Every structure is written in C-alpha cells, then in structure tokens.
Structure 1
Amino acid sequence: MNLLVWYEIGDTREGAFTRERQIKKWNRAWKIQLIEALNPTWSDLYETLNC
C-alpha cells in the first residue's frame, strides 16, 4: 500500500528540484521528523491535493 504522507509546494520548478535534492541527502530519522512535524498520524494526504 502506498500513502502520500508529506509534500511541499515550491514557488518554482527549480526551487522544488533544489529542495528535493536537499532532502534526498538527509538521513532517514530527519525525514521521519519532517513527516511527523506536519502529519503525526501518517494520514494519507492525497485527497488534500488541489490538482
């Protein structure tokens, strides 16, 4: 099962790519802290997207 548990909206495409590269370098614990700061229950956020 796949869940969308975290996302950020960037101002520009380049800014989003820069942020993605930054986060990919983080260790797993930092990534989990990022998720739990905004989504402590790890709820599926897919339905909250306004595409």
Structure 2
Amino acid sequence: MSQPWYVYLLRCADNSLYCGVTTDLNRRVIEHNQSPTRGAKYTRVRRPVELVYSETHASKSLACQREYAIKQLSKSKKEALVKDQQKNTLV
C-alpha cells in the first residue's frame, strides 16, 4: 500500500488559515516555519504557523481534490472544521 496523503490547515501568526497537502505533516510544518525556500510564500511572511487541522487520504489525487474543496470554503466554515476536529480530539 502507498503512503497516505494529508490535507492540512495551518493557523498563521496573523490568524489566517493556510491549506495544503503533504505526505509528511511534521516535516511540512517545520518547512513552513523555518525554511527560506521550502515553505509556501504565503506562510513565509506569516510565521510562526501552527498545525490546527488534518485529514488523511489514500492518494494524492483525493487529497488534492479535498484541498480544493476546503479552499473554496468560507473562513467561518474552515474555522468550523478546526473546531470540530479539536472537539473530537478532546473526547
């Protein structure tokens, strides 16, 4: 079986949310926070960032489709995803 793909949301220092896909969440968050070239241009000027939401998908294609769907959501609906996941994590 191939490695899972993750769709994630980062909370930036300015309270905005950034959505992306990766196969390694820990590495990607470190890149967003520390790398001068590997992190997204958007997050480079909004550091530090914090991982606030993630979900797993079986393929890159599915993860990218979900990333696109999340990016189409309003900020309040993205915040609801974050809140719902945090609520489920605490249970």
Could you state the TM-score of these two structures normalised by the residue count of structure 1?
0.72
The two structures, once aligned, show a CA RMSD in angstroms of 1.0
- Higher alpha-carbon Rg: 2
1:11 Cα offset (Å): 1.1
* Number of equivalent positions: 40
**Matching residue within 58, 67, 71 for 1:24:** 71
Q: Which residue identity does 1:29 align to in structure 2?
A: S
**Distance (Å, rounded) in 1 between the aligned partners of 2:77 and 2:52:** 15
% same residue: 25
Could you state the TM-score of these two structures normalised by the residue count of structure 2?
0.42
1:2 Cα offset (Å): 1.1
Instruction: Return 5+ residue gaps in structure 1 as ranges.
Output: 41-51
Greater length-normalized contact order (CA 8 Å, ≥ 6 residues apart): 1
Higher strand share: 2
> 2:80 — aligned with what?
33
Instruction: Return 5+ residue gaps in structure 2 as ranges.
Output: 1-47
